[in-house]
Amino acid sequence: MKRRELEERVARFLMLLSALLVLGSLFALLAIVVVKGVSALSISMITQTPAGGYYFGKGGGILNAIIGSIYLAGGATVLAFLISLPTALYLNEYAANSRIANAVRLCLDVLWGIPSIVYGAFAFTIMLYLSARASLLWGIITVTLFVFPIMTRAMDEAVKIVPQRLKEGAFALGSTRLETATRVVVRQAMPGILTAILLGFGRGIGDAASVLFTAGYTDSIPRSLFEPVATLPLAVFFQLTSPVPQVQQRAYASAIILLVLVLLASLASRISTRKLFRYVVS
């Protein structure tokens, strides 16, 4: 009798300890990055592009990377959405449980797992083939490839749980499949779809490995799709490798900016999801 009570307590203790360890590492991560970076954070960091001598510790900011990352992740999110939503609708409303749906899901699983560096290398082989140069356009394409499987899987889950009776109601009123899918299913699944979009945006803005070869890096804000573009993750990475202490400091500050953008995206997803649930039939 005593032994199993002891075991119960030990197990409980270990579990609590594990949960605290996970929470603690999140806290340590945020705390260390914020503490290290906050001193280098300034208004000019987010309002200016790198001035001459920036990489030796002179003035300027990383507006180029902030705008670049938003362009890149924004463009990729839009493109990925254009692939993801039709795919999710097709999988659930048109070809549910068919052989082709299974094949598509299998491929999505495989694509979901492919590391972003492999997407980067793959896109670069295509660029070499077309003798294209690193640019915003190619960055967007690469990030789209990397993000759309993540987005599609999430949307697939959201669309899958739309109740059958809603669709039956729409069909009974004489709607076609397309009308049912776009007017009933999409509206009902909207919170999940939005979460999927913001999830994709968060992944896109945070990934460095896929744009390492494909987007280039520049100190100016791109004015067309064919110019190279700087991104925040790479800004963190490059500044960190600098031997100049001020520049390293700015790497930490850039990391805070990136962190804030990602957390904002996740916050936006939480808030808007909650708001959208008003339009959902439960």
Closest to another protein by CB, 40 vs 255, is 255
Contact 266, 202 (CB under 8 A): yes
Residue from 66, 145, 196, 197 binding another protein (CB under 8 A): 145
What is the chain's alpha carbon radius of gyration, rounded to the nearest angstrom? 23
Closest to another protein by CB, 173 vs 263, is 263
**CB of residue 139 to another protein, shortest distance in Å:** 14
- Site for another protein contains 230 (CB under 8 A): no
Closest to another protein by CB, 51 vs 201, is 201
Contact 90, 160 (CB under 8 A): no
Structure tokens at 191: 């919170």
Half-sphere exposure for 212 (CA within 13 Å, toward CB):
14
Give the angle 50-55-59 at the CA atoms, nearest 5°. 50
CA dihedral of residues 9, 14, 17, 21 (deg, nearest 10): -170
Contacts with another protein in 66-125 (CB under 8 A)? 82-83, 86-87, 89-91, 94-95, 100, 103-104, 106-122, 124-125
Residue from 64, 135, 152, 249 binding another protein (CB under 8 A): 152
Closest to another protein by CB, 51 vs 82, is 82
Site string for another protein, 185-224 (x = CB under 8 A): --------------x--xx-xxxxx--xx-----------
- 267's enclosing H/E stretch is helix 245-276
- Select from 52-60, 135-143, 146-154, 185-193 the region that touches another protein (CB under 8 A): 146-154
DSSP state letter for 39 = G
